[in-house]
Homo-oligomer: A and B are copies of this chain.
Amino acid sequence: MSVTVPQGFRASGTTAGLKDSGKPDVAVVVNDGPDRHAAAVFTTNRVAAAPVLWSRQVLTDGRVDAVVLNSGGANAATGHPGFQDTHATAEHAAQQLGVSAGDVVVCSTGLIGLPLPMERLLPGVSDAVGKLSADGGADAAEAIMTTDTVPKTSEHQGPGYTIGAMAKGAGMLAPGMATMLCVITTDAVVAPQQLDAALREAVRTTLNRADSDGCMSTNDTVVLMSSGASGAAPEPAEFQEGLRAVCEDLARQLIADAEGAAHEITIRVVNASTEEAAEAVARAVSRSNLFKTAVFGQDPNWGRVISAVGTVPEDVAPFDAYAIDVTFNGIQVCRAAGVGEDRNLVDLSGREVTVEIDLHAGDAEATIWTNDLTHDYVHENSAYSS
């Protein structure tokens, strides 16, 4: 699995000593071609980190030769010196790889507001370049973890080509254009423009619909690279669906490993006037702490659902607020904004919870994946400084 499943890619992970834990913290992914096409989406947070500012520039020509990633420090809120550190990281990797620094994407994750220890990071990058291999995907996926408890990888086998991917993210997890750090590779033959369009469409309904804690990161980056090494040029719709499947798989893995979560919650809004309206309603519910604590308490509290639905402005989502139905795990506990089936029929003891909200206002729908709000979330985030 991971980013070295497709042909034409090497990867590695190593321990540079950026983390107190002594766990792996630097990863490199290299595209050996023949194509070096790429597309990326980044956080929409206005306090974007130095590596995001750098990598946006790298992507302007649609070519990426390598991605250098580090955990153990976000290099966010570090000012001009932080940007110089990112630049130096790209230059150092480029020199080791014999490529141009302008084709090297840099991703960082970890604490905000601390400078990276460059005297450890640069030797770590050299070490990672030395360890690059066509089997290195798993090591790379491990080296980008922060509070993640498991590495996240995915793959898709298309006709004659493959997509591979890795991602990290467990907190500050409410992507606005992308999620956390994610590298996707493919050996398909795909033009840069098609890569870009396919990535944006795939992310829009998958990684961007994962909203664990409502907090958007300063470092979110998703990079997609194609090597063309398979020689297969996929049918666009097939490639789009494969990419979407990989992104959805990663999004659900992120939610399943979110900090302190005891339930994975799927909020599906149906019969909305537009997809945007459905998304806005689902997101309002996903951000209600009262709803999220109720799910933690295994309480199918539809009153907290409809009170959150009712906060969405009418111009964003036109619907009759007194017509809403709410279903928890198949039991329609709320009918026409009033009491429906017996709430005692709902079983929320498992980890998977599906809440369906019927707006009776059209035929559009959208899904948001989120988590419950638990004691472990409070514990982890009041003790862990990020």
Contact = CB atoms under 8 A, between A and B. Distances in A.
Interface in A211-242: 213-218
Contacts of A96: none
A310 to B, nearest CB: 3
A78 interface: yes
A77 interface: yes
A215 B304 contact: yes
A251 B4 CA distance: 57
Q: A113, A171, A301, A379: which has the most chain B beta carbons within 10 Å?
A: A113
A311 interface: yes
A321 interface: yes
A381 B303 contact: no
A17 interface: no
Contacts of A324: 47
Nearest to A44: B311
A339 B113 contact: yes
A108 to B, nearest CB: 13
A214 B324 CA distance: 22
A176 interface: yes
A311 B216 contact: yes
A382 B297 contact: yes
Given A112-B303, A113-B302, A375-B379, A46 B290 contact: no
Nearest to A337: B77
Contacts of A382: 293-294, 296-297, 299
Given A113-B334, A386-B304, A310 B47 contact: yes
Interface string A34-51: 000000000011111000
Contacts of A312: 46
Interface residues of A, number: 64
Contacts of A378: 293, 296, 373-375, 377-378
Contacts of A214: 287-289
Interface in A284-338: 287-290, 293-294, 296-297, 299, 301-304, 306-312, 314, 321-322, 324, 334, 336-338
B385 A294 contact: yes
A111 interface: yes
A172 interface: yes
A130 interface: no
Nearest to A111: B303
A26 interface: no
A310 B43 CA distance: 10
Contacts of A385: 294, 299, 301
Contacts of A289: 213-215, 289, 373, 377, 381
Contacts of A383: 297
B113 A338 contact: yes
Contact of A218 (B82, B302, B307): B307
A343 to B, nearest CB: 9
Given A46-B321, A215-B304, A337 B288 contact: no
Interface in A330-356: 334, 336-339
B304 A112 contact: yes
A218 B304 CA distance: 10
A79 interface: yes
A76 interface: yes
A215 B305 CA distance: 10
